[in-house]
Structure 1
Amino acid sequence: MTNKKLKPIMFVGTGSDVGKSVIAAGFCRIFKQDGYYPAPFKAQNMSLNSFVTPDGLELGRAQAVQAEAAGIPCHTDMNPVLLKPTSDKSSQVVLNGKPVGNQSAYEYFMANDRRELFFAVKEAFDRLSTNFGPIVLEGAGSISELNLKHRDITNLRMAAHAGAATYLIADIDKGGVFGSVYGTISLLTEQERALMKGIIINKFRGDGRLFEEGKKMLEDLTGLPVVGILPYFRDIHIEEEDSVSLESKFKSSVEGKINIAVILLKRLSNFTDFDRLEQDPRVNLFYTNDPAEIGKAQIVIIPGSKNTIADMLAIKNNGIAKAIYDVHKSGRTVIGICGGYQIMGETIEDPHHVEGEIEQVPGLGLLPVQTVLQSVKTTLQCEFAFRESAETGVGYEIHMGETKISGQESPVAVLSDGRNDGCFLNDKTWGSYLHGILDNENVVEHLLAPYHSDAKTSTFNFQDFKEEQYNKLADLIRSHVNMEMIYDSLKN
């Protein structure tokens, strides 16, 4: 590793979903390739996609992905505040990896504890920066939300604390790039403006040279260099941060593939559980809440949920529950992961009002299990053996329920600490608490075997695939961003 010390770098946006998290991952890989020891940081994340650290704490999945790109284990200091929406108005607040309660959006954004939260995130950053460098910071949403800026703990106040060279990312594919960039920069204070080192235009379709005139106009308007114009790409697969990206996955069944329907729950969490399956050449995986499309699938997966009872009631009322039951009755495969496992059972009870006022609902009744939601969250990384397999698999638990099996236990997996996980009714009907279980090759082959004569011939390695994607992303950024200007801005 190089001994040269670089300042932190921060990527902020003209708005949400402009590509900050993917670009930050790309720079984590570039700095690793160039002999540095980078680490990602996002002060506050709002997402239902989370991950568990090696020491059993929770952080946003995007920072876990960025840490993987940097080649280091993830740690809660990389994402000290995580907000997990439980309803349209309320979120569970996770601080330094542990839940500290639920708050409404008004309570969270208006209460005095923002001062304490900002202190906590600065401490996390300072700890991280003693061991890694450069730190690759990611902002949230827009940096010019005037009504929120004075309480902001994520964007330019964090950049100022870190002394980060800050770059504004704009998504040209959304349209209005001149207005969004110029407006964003114009609304900054003089002190905030001094933090800004350049602009990156993202998701440009076509030949970037066609934007040369636009590039000069933006530079003249803002006084900042446009350091890169990144092309729109579909051939590099990096995990997306939020369910906004799910819109591209609302496909439908196709002939000649194993059709896997993931139920599109309103509070769907950890949709990254299905990225390995989505890349499998034998599979057509799609997300849907259309009963007709569910009925065309060979395999139906009920995913995790941040509000299992509300999602259970919703699928009973909109015809999805019947569609799932019909798939099961026809002898096809239905499995559930985490909240989906709870939904497949006979009852879900909430005596402590963890999710709301409803204390009990019937589940789908596909598995002989009963779930009682608990106030204490289980967060663990796990090693396991799937069924009778001799192979060791890896996954992680994030759940607030305890599920008991009626009658004789038939676990999906046996964990390395001796605990049983899940309920295995038969080859085509089972549920598990293990996120990431479907990243393991032997589990995938078991799932697909009834529907593919060559199911055992797959040579797809998901870890190798992910490494290849990070390297491709780094190559793309190097080709379209002036890395010399980036490095110059990071020199002390």
Structure 2
Amino acid sequence: MQRLKPIMFVGTASDVGKSIINTGFCRIFKQDGYWPAPFKAQNMSLNSYATPEGLEIGRAQAVQAEACGIACNTDMNPVLLKPTSEKSSQVVLLGKPIGNQSAYDYFMGNNKQELFKEAKAAYDRLSGKYNPVVLEGAGSISELNLKHRDITNMRMAMHAGADVYLVADIDRGGVFGSVYGTIALLTPEEKQLIKGIIINKFRGDARLFETGKKLIEDLCGIPVVGVVPYRKDIHIEEEDSVGLEQKHHQSSTGKINVAVVLLNRLSNFTDFNVLEKDERVHLFYSNNPTEIEQAAIIIIPGSKNTIADLIDLKNNGVAKAIVNAHKQGKTVIGICGGYQMMGQHVEDPFHVEGSIELMPGLGLLPVKTVLTEEKITQQCTFHYKQDKATCTGYEIHMGVTESDKPLNQTGTGFDGYFQSDTCWGTYIHGILDNGVVINDLLKSDVRIDKPFDYNVFKEEQYDKLAAHLREHLDLNYIYSQLLK
């Protein structure tokens, strides 16, 4: 197979669709017989994943690796920032946390040079094994105050010698100004790498934008390689939780109302993708005490700062609503940080999350958690409630919770606490991806003999996305540039 140049998708802003387009090209190259791999030098996200080696990367790169048909590894996302508050983040380098930093210290400090060196080395290792590497930028490529410290966008593109495609979101408006301004602020060396512009999230008849395409090409001197229509029927795991607030109301359609508590520092919201697709369920996210108390099932999700989110729940009335719902016989379960919150207290002797050393929990489970400096990251197999079916999931947490009544038996021991069928907690992310768990949780009169197969569903979505991009982008032009 002929060697392709690396390709990179960058944006005029955050949330323009870079990750989705990157994922689609990962699948396109796989379909066309190449051996692609994704790469994002630095990712900021609370949605992470454990590699087979037990290391941590951003979930988006794990999804893109899946679209490539390969196992994920830390070279695909060498630097991961996991926000712990509005002003600071945990820094994860090559899958392992190296400490917390304020946003100012991280973006303005001298350590970025060392991180850039690590990022370039990670890219070089991938480039030696895969063809092509599909790179993704972050945010806007024209943040002038940060560009000289940026390790993700055009500096990485120049190191890789990548063909770069600028993605713009027409749905948010101002597409001409955002594209022209972004290009105008590039240096001549950077602009030379830009091979095309992608207009994304177009609603309506794309033929109406033919004049717009010509105007952008004349203004920027760069071809518009396609206008990608907005599609609601292609479901790729999202990188960020910005849209969760839109999934915000109970349903009166006769389905089972399942409330996911909308934490300020909610992590790994992809735990609920399968439940959202279940035809018996109406899933919604809420921090409204009344809505939460009225739900049939309440799930307390993972958190990047368990103590801070626990304090918020007590202050906004959600904690009381959860306890009241439990007393009424409603089902309450917790995953990871949510499991920790359900216990008697959370202890932080090493100040992992902040200055508070002890915080009483919700008191729903007779367990106590001690936060530790060492992070546990691992994929796992387990048996749920002694069921014979083998289930899969992964753990990402800093903390130990002692339990004398475990929910799951894992390959290395036990996990979680089982209080009753309506009250339990677990450290395992992805536990709800397993049909035996979903059926037991819902206890619905409507049984599904053949549970929703999430893996098959995801493969179908990658193929649908690839077909969508093939239809609306000039693949012949893109390949002609990559083969130069």
Regarding TM over 0.5, the answer is: yes
Query: In the aligned structure 2, how far is the partner of 1:321 from the partner of 1:100?
Result: 33
Aligned counterpart, 1:147: 145
Normalization by structure 1: what TM-score?
0.97
Aligned counterpart, 2:460: 468
Query: In the aligned structure 2, how far is the partner of 1:185 from the partner of 1:248?
Result: 33
User: Alignment partner of 2:294: what SS?
Assistant: coil
Aligned counterpart, 1:428: 422
Pick from 441, 454, 457: which aligns with 2:449?
Answer: 457
User: Alignment partner of 1:124: what SS?
Assistant: helix
Contact 1:381 1:395 in 2 (8 A): yes
Aligned counterpart, 1:295: 293
CA 1:322–1:253: 2 relative to 1, 3 Å: farther
User: Alignment partner of 2:399: what SS?
Assistant: strand
User: Alignment partner of 1:92: what SS?
Assistant: strand
Pick from 12, 22, 46: which aligns with 1:48?
Answer: 46
Amino acid at match of 2:187: T
Pairing 1:363-382 to 2, within 5 Å after superposition: 363-382=361-380
Aligned counterpart, 2:411: 416
Aligned counterpart, 1:480: 472
Query: In the aligned structure 1, how far is the partner of 2:281 from the partner of 2:296?
Result: 10
Aligned counterpart, 1:438: 432
How far did 1:435 drift?
0.5
Check if 1:491 corresponds to 2:483. Answer: yes
Aligned counterpart, 1:266: 264
Query: In the aligned structure 2, how far is the partner of 1:91 from the partner of 1:378?
Result: 18
Q: Cα deviations across residues 360-409 of structure 1 (Å, max 9, x unaligned)? A: 0100000010000001100111011111211111111100000013xxx2
Contact 1:448 1:455 in 2 (8 A): no
Query: In the aligned structure 1, how far is the partner of 2:273 from the partner of 2:134?
Result: 25
Query: In the aligned structure 2, how far is the partner of 1:358 from the partner of 1:201?
Result: 47
Check if 1:228 corresponds to 2:223. Answer: no
Check if 1:188 corresponds to 2:189. Answer: no
Query: In the aligned structure 2, how far is the partner of 1:187 from the partner of 1:402?
Result: 49
Query: In the aligned structure 2, how far is the partner of 1:251 from the partner of 1:185?
Result: 41
Pick from 254, 258, 261: which aligns with 2:252?
Answer: 254
Check if 1:199 corresponds to 2:197. Answer: yes
CA RMSD, 1 decimal: 0.9
How far did 1:16 drift?
0.2
Q: Cα deviations across residues 258-311 of structure 1 (Å, max 9, x unaligned)? A: 111000000100001101111111111111001111122111000000000011
Aligned counterpart, 1:213: 211
Pick from 32, 54, 57: which aligns with 2:55?
Answer: 57
How far did 1:4 drift?
1.1
Query: In the aligned structure 2, how far is the partner of 1:281 from the partner of 1:397?
Result: 27
Query: In the aligned structure 1, how far is the partner of 2:109 from the partner of 2:33?
Result: 43
Aligned counterpart, 1:120: 118
Contact 2:274 2:452 in 1 (8 A): no
Aligned counterpart, 1:86: 84
Query: In the aligned structure 1, how far is the partner of 2:248 from the partner of 2:238?
Result: 15
Unaligned runs of 5+ in 2: none
Query: In the aligned structure 1, how far is the partner of 2:40 from the partner of 2:219?
Result: 29
Contact 1:253 1:297 in 2 (8 A): no
How far did 1:458 drift?
4.5
Query: In the aligned structure 1, how far is the partner of 2:249 from the partner of 2:462?
Result: 26
Aligned counterpart, 1:32: 30
Amino acid at match of 1:489: Q
Unaligned runs of 5+ in 1: none
- The percentage of aligned residue pairs carrying the same residue is 66
Pairing 1:382-421 to 2, within 5 Å after superposition: 382-405=380-403, 409-417=404-412, 419-421=413-415
Check if 1:278 corresponds to 2:276. Answer: yes
Query: In the aligned structure 2, how far is the partner of 1:347 from the partner of 1:480?
Result: 54
Amino acid at match of 1:224: I
Contact 2:435 2:451 in 1 (8 A): no
Q: Cα deviations across residues 153-184 of structure 1 (Å, max 9, x unaligned)? A: 00000001111100000000000000000000
Aligned counterpart, 1:320: 318
How far did 1:318 drift?
0.6
Contact 1:250 1:286 in 2 (8 A): yes
Query: In the aligned structure 1, how far is the partner of 2:6 from the partner of 2:259?
Result: 42
User: Alignment partner of 1:22: what SS?
Assistant: helix
User: Alignment partner of 2:375: what SS?
Assistant: strand
User: Alignment partner of 2:283: what SS?
Assistant: strand
Query: In the aligned structure 2, how far is the partner of 1:424 from the partner of 1:455?
Result: 23
Query: In the aligned structure 2, how far is the partner of 1:423 from the partner of 1:234?
Result: 38
Contact 2:394 2:430 in 1 (8 A): yes
Normalization by structure 2: what TM-score?
0.99
Pick from 174, 177, 180: which aligns with 1:179?
Answer: 177
Q: Cα deviations across residues 81-100 of structure 1 (Å, max 9, x unaligned)? A: 00000011110000000000
Total equivalences in the alignment? 484
Aligned counterpart, 2:99: 101
Q: Cα deviations across residues 421-476 of structure 1 (Å, max 9, x unaligned)? A: 00010111000000011111111111111xx2122434421111111111110110
How far did 1:245 drift?
2.7
Contact 1:185 1:222 in 2 (8 A): yes
Contact 1:17 1:244 in 2 (8 A): no
Amino acid at match of 2:442: L
Query: In the aligned structure 2, how far is the partner of 1:254 from the partner of 1:12?
Result: 42
Query: In the aligned structure 1, how far is the partner of 2:453 from the partner of 2:363?
Result: 35
Query: In the aligned structure 2, how far is the partner of 1:486 from the partner of 1:75?
Result: 27
Query: In the aligned structure 2, how far is the partner of 1:271 from the partner of 1:77?
Result: 24
Aligned counterpart, 2:442: 448
